[in-house]
Amino acid sequence: MIIATALAAAGATTAGTSDILVTGTAQQRIALAVRHKLHPSGAVTVRLTGSLAGPDTLTGTFGTVRVIADGIQHAGLRLSNIVATLHGVTTHGTTTGGSASATVPYTALSRHLDAAAALMTMGTDGTDLTLTTTAGSSGLPLTVTARITTAHSIALTPTTVSFLGRALPVSAVADTPGGAGLASGFTPHTVALAGLPAGARLTSARPDHTGLALQLTIPATGKLVALPGGPGDAGCTATAQA
């Protein structure tokens, strides 16, 4: 319907003109659907990388759609730098699968940790997540290294504590003088990543200088998805796999 309406309204007569008009209309409407569904605080950019002229126009296939958005609140977790690539997207809202990436800024991640961990400065040693604070009244820096694992959530497991150039396993800190109280604050944390599309899977979470960089896979779906602009949704006209 989107493709037919765009071409008829414009009165396009050449394949090149048709492709430009259809691509522009589709990109605008997908971007509108993303804004309507996810309410990002930043810009939304949509790019169709496949040709829409010829048979693709007749079959209602957009091809590959790349969506870039910023500043999304998802299941209580703030995400930035979201990039999703969906293949074989159709006007019915189906896709043959794809991938997505996003970043959880450290400031957003800290809100999901306990009070002690939330006061620590997050970063990375190039491999693992690091949380840095000062040790008691000495004011000397103390760094906790945490391993990250993923499943249906993000699990942060403290592994070592570094102080005055010495690294100890977290399990051994309690055996050091005054270490019992310190070690009690180094507990595992789990950050839920709820509400993902059915079948979507979090494959990795890697710390960088800005936050946790997430990678996800998106499955193929043959299911027709309720999209903005459908029956009963007069406030937003668009077609997209949101």
> Which three-class secondary structure string do you get for the chain?
CHHHHHHHHHCCCCHHHHHHHHHHHHHHHHHHHHHHHHCCCCCEEEEECCCCCCHHHHHCEEEEEEEEECCEEECCEEEEEEEEEEEEEECCCCECEEEEEEEEEHHHHHCCCCHHHHCCEEEECCCCEEEEEEEHHHCEEEEEEEEEEECCEEEEEEEEEEECCEEEEHHHHCCCCCHHHHHCCCCCEEEECCCCCCCCEEEEEEECCCEEEEEEEECCECCCCCCCCCCCCCCCCCCCCC
Say what the pLDDT of residue 53 is.
52
Q: Please state the pTM of the whole predicted model.
A: 0.76
From first to last of its 242 residues, the chain has per-residue pLDDT tens of 333 433 333 333 334 455 666 677 778 888 888 888 888 999 999 898 865 555 465 566 778 889 999 999 887 889 999 999 988 887 777 788 999 999 999 999 988 887 777 778 899 999 999 988 877 666 788 888 999 999 778 999 988 988 888 888 887 776 565 555 555 567 888 888 877 777 788 999 999 999 999 999 988 875 433 333 433 343 343 333 33
Say what the pLDDT of residue 177 is.
54
Determine whether 162 is exposed, middle or buried from the number of CB atoms within 10 Å of its CB (0-12, 13-18, 19+): middle
For the chain, how many residues are written?
A: 242
Say what the pLDDT of residue 57 is.
55
Distance CA 189, CA 174 (A): 19
Say what the pLDDT of residue 147 is.
92
Say what the pLDDT of residue 50 is.
67
Q: Which two tokens stand for residue 115?
A: 């009070």
Q: Are 109 and 191 in contact (CB under 8 A)?
A: yes
Q: Which residue has the tokens 């050449």?
A: 14
